Amino acid sequence: EIFELKAELNSDKKEKKKEAVKKVIASMTVGKDVSALFPDVVNCMQTDNLELKKLVYLYLMNYAKSQPDMAIMAVNTFVKDCEDPNPLIRALAVRTMGCIRVDKITEYLCEPLRKCLKDEDPYVRKTAAVCVAKLHDINAQLVEDQGFLDTLRDLISDSNPMVVANAVAALSEIAESHPSSNLLDLNPQSINKLLTALNECTEWGQIFILDCLASYTPKDDREAQSICERVTPRLSHANSAVVLSAVKVLMKFMEMLSKDLDYYGTLLKKLAPPLVTLLSAEPELQYVALRNINLIVQKRPEILKHEMKVFFVKYNDPIYVKLEKLDIMIRLASQANIAQVLAELKEYATEVDVDFVRKAVRAIGRCAIKVEQSAERCVSTLLDLIQTKVNYVVQEAIVVIKDIFRKYPNKYESVIATLCENLDSLDEPEARAAMIWIVGEYAERIDNADELLESFLEGFHDESTQVQLQLLTAIVKLFLKKPTETQELVQQVLSLATQDSDNPDLRDRGYIYWRLLSTDPVAAKEVVLAEKPLISEETDLIEPTLLDELICYIGTLASVYHKPPSAFVEGGRGVVHKSLPPRTASSESTESPETAPAGAPPGEQLDVVPTQGDLLGDLLNLDLGPPVSGPPLATSTVQMGAVDLLGGGLDSLMGDEPEGIGAPNFVAPPAAAVPASLGAPMGSGLNDLFDLTSGVGTLSGSYVAPKAVWLPAMKAKGLEISGTFTRQAGSISMDLQLTNKALQVMTDFAIQFNRNSFGLAPAAPLQVHAPLSPTQTVEISLPLSTAGSVMKTEPLNNLQVAVKNNIDVFYFSTLYPLHILFVEDGKMDRQMFLATWKDIPNENEAQFQIRDCPLNAEAVSSRLQSSNVFTVARRNVEGQDMLYQSLKLTNGIWVLAELRIQPGNPSFTLSLKCRAPEVSQHVYQAYETILKN
């Protein structure tokens, strides 16, 4: 077949030739390999038939990369075509040339491109503008060297609006890969040009320009307002993308306007209708619009507060539209419209799609929490739904009723009986956990609470962690409320949790309860049955800083995913964090300094980021998945709180003799359990709680890892040591943190190192000035030298340490990061580097992959440099950045490195050459730590 095509391609008849090329393209689309025909097809290129030419170009774009040498054959024709009198052909040539991603060709592309950028015909210029972006993608350096960026910038002042739009698009894209360079150089003059072009160019051009405008920060509120005034007409454009991009600009600049301004109110009013109109677009666009409206409603609820009805779900809406509408309905629910909303939600709860029904049921619960006046109606609606006995509806309802209880305690307990009837039908962990929580929380009002909980206990090990944890807590609560009848039950669950489970969370919680109950049941009661904080009314809000960032990305994928671009875009592109501009007044307008994001009164914010105190009470119920989805910060505060709470009591337990335990009215755990609980398992379990101390690395000098616990208090009779290594200004030190977790004072500290691979030794004695009293912590920096005696250790960077105090001598070992040994004069000169590289035998070369490192070559180089890894040379080979680096260890060993970085690919390849190849592995680890922290 290929043979026949070959013959046809070489035929004299034009028609036949064209048909043959068509066939080739058809085969190509199908996926057949027709690259063998390359020379024959390229021969057809010299034709004045535009259609044939286009086909040949299409073929070229596909195969040039796999046949770079032959692709050169086409260059001549391209260059010739760029001079063609027909502007369509000139543009076609320059457009296609940019798509041929062969390095050799790009060199030939420069001249024609330069001409085309200044072509008399706007069609050619607009095509050339995009071509600069293409070329930049292949070879960024070349574009900068050739000065194309300046030419491109000049095109922003072009007389033709489409040329302007494409130049803006190209510049914006290039700017994304150079976040720091002020490529676009937006200033009031250039903004004015863009705004003028905005009125005249195609719908797509308007999008490019609006997206570019959104990245500009006006200097004051007057400028912001004048831009807004010129952008608002775009809200009536038929193209939804133009509308959304205009909304983005307005939402962003509005941030700078004072709320007292009349214009601010006008703008708010103007935004609502176009947003609603987006909902009559095709379903896919509706989806994009709804995801964005979801953000806008969170940022500025006032815009759409009267538009509830348009978000009512239609029976035939695609499921993705339904789910989004539901989400927005809940956000807009208020006292004014709650009756309507509830009626709708009840309707939805009878639909077919399981996900949608579940969400609708959950929404009813959220309404109850949000609008207090409606709570009663919501609860009765939920009870009605439970009566339907549809399994997933019942389970979902129970989960939300649990939340309602947490918001309005002691108000709706009458429904508990109904809930208990459905106990058997619950098969989802979340629902089971919720039900158990309810039983535990209201144990005193449920006569057979013990029986109910006991029934769950039978299959304890088959339950999910969530349920196990909840069951444990619930039974402890029950015990504290009705101690007489439930001793057996509580012992059963404690031993199940502590002895038979591998789950550290469960085990730890079991131990905490056990300790608590055995030390001081009164305190236990205060802790476990403490009054809980009410849950917040607004749930699953997007965290404010993320929300602000997403507002800057309205209309884009980020706003659809509700994730910042860095979460789904590879490489350096678009990873720059955007943020809303601060409000700046141009004149003397007196304005209250408002730091909280507009639209969110401070009170609401508190709810999103729970305070430490709140969480403390909540700590023991945390795994229920409270609807408060706090930022990561929350979890760390919880732990801190826990330490404060339990610290004293537990410390005494650890240091003390076993006889000390056992409160009078508590039946001690089985004998076997007592020593076990004091021994290793408990210790390791509790360690997690104490692993909190973390030092913050110094900013100058090489990278410093956070402090890790080297010697747990368990193993050292109450002395806990954590530490890390630093290197600063040529000296190494060991930063230690000593904590006394015993009950007695510690004095007489001393430290010694075992012989090690690099001769590390303390350069001064360990100086703890004052005696260390119980619960006290002291920070010490111990200078180290490398003059100690040397013995090769396994692993190479292992360090054995002995610490003595008045109580005993303790031993531990730790691994030090190799980069603390990289000396300051580790830079080799280039010649030397080359020679050494060649000199070291190839078998000494080791190759490693550094994965998921988002840095670019510059950042990598500078970061390594601060840890004394020096970049000797840098080259760009086939689009990859090659860094040649050297470093020297304290004992004079040189290590040479070649780091290969491909733009856009987060995996680097590291090749190391060293005369002592055994260090390579550790050097690689040092690279990893430096680059990833």
Partner 1 sequence: MIGGLFIYNHKGEVLISRVYRDDIGSQAADSAVFSSSGPLQEEVVSKPEAFSGNRRNAVDAFRVNVIHARQQVRSPVTNIARTSFFHVKRSNIWLAAVTKQNVNAAMVFEFLYKMCDVMAAYFGKISEENIKNNFVLIYELLDEILDFGYPQNSETGALKTFITQQGIKSQHQTKEEQSQITSQVTGQIGWRREGIKYRRNELFLDVLESVNLLMSPQGQVLSAHVSGRVVMKSYLSGMPECKFGMNDKIVIEKQGKGTADETSKSGKQSIAIDDCTFHQCVRLSKFDSERSISFIPPDGEFELMRYRTTKDIILPFRVIPLVREVGRTKLEVKVVIKSNFKPSLLAQKIEVRIPTPLNTSGVQVICMKGKAKYKASENAIVWKIKRMAGMKESQISAEIELLPTNDKKKWARPPISMNFEVPFAPSGLKVRYLKVFEPKLNYSDHDVIKWVRYIGRSGIYETRC
Give the range of 18-26, 433-441, 596-604, 882-890 binding partner 1 by CB under 8 A.
18-26
Contact 356, 322 (CB under 8 A): yes
If one counts every other C-beta atom within 10 angstroms of the C-beta of residue 112, the result is 22
| Separation of alpha carbons 688 and 503, rounded Å | 13
Site for partner 1 in 134-153 (CB under 8 A): 134, 137
Other C-beta atoms closer than 10 Å to the C-beta of 625 total 16
Kindly write out the interface string for residues 847-886 of this chain, putting x where it contacts partner 1 by CB under 8 A and - elsewhere.
----------------------------------------
Task: Give least dist CB 241 to partner 1, A.
Answer: 4
**Site mask for partner 1 (CB under 8 A), range 644-663, x = bound:** --------------------
Q: Is 28 in the site for partner 1 (CB under 8 A)?
A: yes
Q: Does 55 bind partner 1 (CB under 8 A)?
A: yes
Quick one: which H or E segment has residue 362? helix 354-370
Select 29 or 777, whichever has its Cβ closest to partner 1.
Answer: 29
For the record, the structure tokens of 318 come out as: 């695609």
- The two three-digit tokens of residue 699, written as one number: 């900013």
Residue 831 near partner 1 by CB under 8 A: no
Q: For the sheet with 761-762, list strands across it.
A: 708-711, 719-728, 731-740, 777-785, 761-762
Stretch that binds partner 1, among 548-556, 725-733, 830-838, 841-849 (CB under 8 A): 548-556
Q: Choose the binding region for partner 1 from 282-290, 499-507, 528-536, 857-865 (rule: CB under 8 A).
A: 282-290
124 part of the interface to partner 1, by CB under 8 A:
yes
Q: How far apart are CA 656 and CA 743, in angstroms?
A: 8
CA distances, 627 to each of 103, 748, 803 (Å): 55, 51, 47
What's the closest the beta carbon of residue 290 comes to partner 1, in angstroms? 11
CB 843 within 8 A of CB 833: no
Q: How many CB atoms are located within 10 Å of the residue 13 CB?
A: 10
Contacting residue, 12, 85, 696, 852, with partner 1 by CB under 8 A: 85
Rounded least distance, CB 202 to partner 1, Å: 5
- Which residues inside 886-915 make contact with partner 1, applying CB under 8 A? 904
Least distance CB 575 / partner 1 (angstroms) = 10
Sorted by sequence, the CB contacts under 8 Å of residue 404 that are 6+ apart come out as 365, 368, 369, 375, 378, 379, 412
Q: 3-state DSSP call for residue 251? A: helix
Burial 531-564 (b: 16+ CB within 10 A, else e): ebbebbbbbebbebeebbbbbbbbbbebbeebbb
CB 257 within 8 A of CB 221: yes
Nearer to partner 1 by C-beta: 80 or 237? 237
Tell the smallest beta-carbon distance from residue 674 to partner 1 (Å).
Answer: 52
Q: Which of 38, 63, 479, 710 binds partner 1 (CB under 8 A)?
A: 63
636 binds partner 1 (CB under 8 A): no
Binding characters for partner 1, 553-572, by CB under 8 A (x = yes): x-xxxxxxx---x--xxx--
User: Omega of the bond prior to 917 within 30 degrees of 0, cis?
Assistant: no
Report the sign of the C-alpha dihedral through residues 309, 310, 316, 317, in that order: negative
The C-alpha angle with vertex 78 and arms to 76 and 82, in degrees rounded to 5, equals: 120
Q: Provide the token pair at 231.
A: 């952008």
Least CB distance to partner 1 at residue 701 (A):
35
Residue 25 contacts partner 1 per CB under 8 A: yes
Per-residue contact track with partner 1, 216 to 235, x per CB under 8 A? --------------x-xxx-
DSSP letter assigned to residue 349: T
Run of H or E including 97: helix 87-99
239 forms part of the interface with partner 1 (CB under 8 A): yes
Least separation in angstroms between CB 321 and partner 1 = 9
712 binds partner 1 (CB under 8 A): no
Residue among 213, 289, 527, 600 that touches partner 1 (CB under 8 A): 289
Nearer to partner 1, 542 or 719 (CB): 542
Does the footprint of partner 1 cover residue 384 (CB under 8 A)?
no
Q: What is the largest CA-CA distance in the chain?
A: 109
Nearer to partner 1, 549 or 607 (CB): 549
Cα–Cα distance, 383 to 418 (Å, whole number): 8
Compare residues 196 and 652 and give the one whose CB is closer to partner 1: 196
**Full strand arrangement of the beta sheet holding 798-804:** 750-753, 798-804, 809-815
Element (H, E) at 728: strand 719-728
Please state the closest distance from residue 569 (CB atom) to partner 1, in A.
5
Residue from 7, 39, 46, 65 touching partner 1 (CB under 8 A): that is: 65
Q: Which stretch binds partner 1 (CB under 8 A): 549-557, 668-676, 724-732, 795-803?
A: 549-557
Contact 59, 28 (CB under 8 A): yes
Q: Which is nearer to partner 1, 277 or 925 (CB)?
A: 277
Q: How far apart are CA 257 and CA 622, in angstroms?
A: 41
Tell me how many degrees the CA angle 813-819-822 measures, rounded to the nearest 5. 125
Beta bridge pairs of residue 886 = 870, 896
Helix ranges, 422-503 (H) = 429-441, 449-457, 465-481, 487-499
Question: Minimal distance in Å, beta carbon 492 to partner 1?
Answer: 36
DSSP designation for 577: P
Q: Which is nearer to partner 1, 307 or 845 (CB)?
A: 307
Q: Which residue of 2, 6, 16, 62 would you call a contact of partner 1, by CB under 8 A? A: 62
Kindly state the tokens that stand for 510. 């079991």
As a whole number of angstroms, the distance between CA 102 and CA 729 comes to 47
Binding to partner 1, residues 334-373 (CB under 8 A) = 340, 343-344, 347, 350-352
Show contacts with partner 1 in window 169-188 (CB under 8 A). 169, 173
Binding residue (CB under 8 A) for partner 1 from 6, 193, 445, 573: 573
Please give the size of the binding site for partner 1, defined by CB under 8 A.
Answer: 119
Q: How far is the CB of 84 from partner 1 (least distance, A)?
A: 9
Q: Examine residue 539 and tell whether it contacts partner 1 (CB under 8 A).
A: no
Name which of residues 390 to 419 contact partner 1 (CB under 8 A): 390
Decide if residue 33 touches partner 1 (CB under 8 A): yes
Shortest Å distance, C-beta 419 to partner 1: 19
307 vs 332: CA distance, rounded Å: 8
Nearer to partner 1, 244 or 736 (CB): 244
C-alpha 41/C-alpha 395 separation (Å) is 66
Tell me the window of 95-103, 718-726, 857-865, 893-901 that interacts with partner 1 (CB under 8 A). Answer: 95-103
812 lies in the binding site for partner 1 (CB under 8 A):
no
Query: Does residue number 295 form part of the binding site for partner 1 (CB under 8 A)?
Result: no
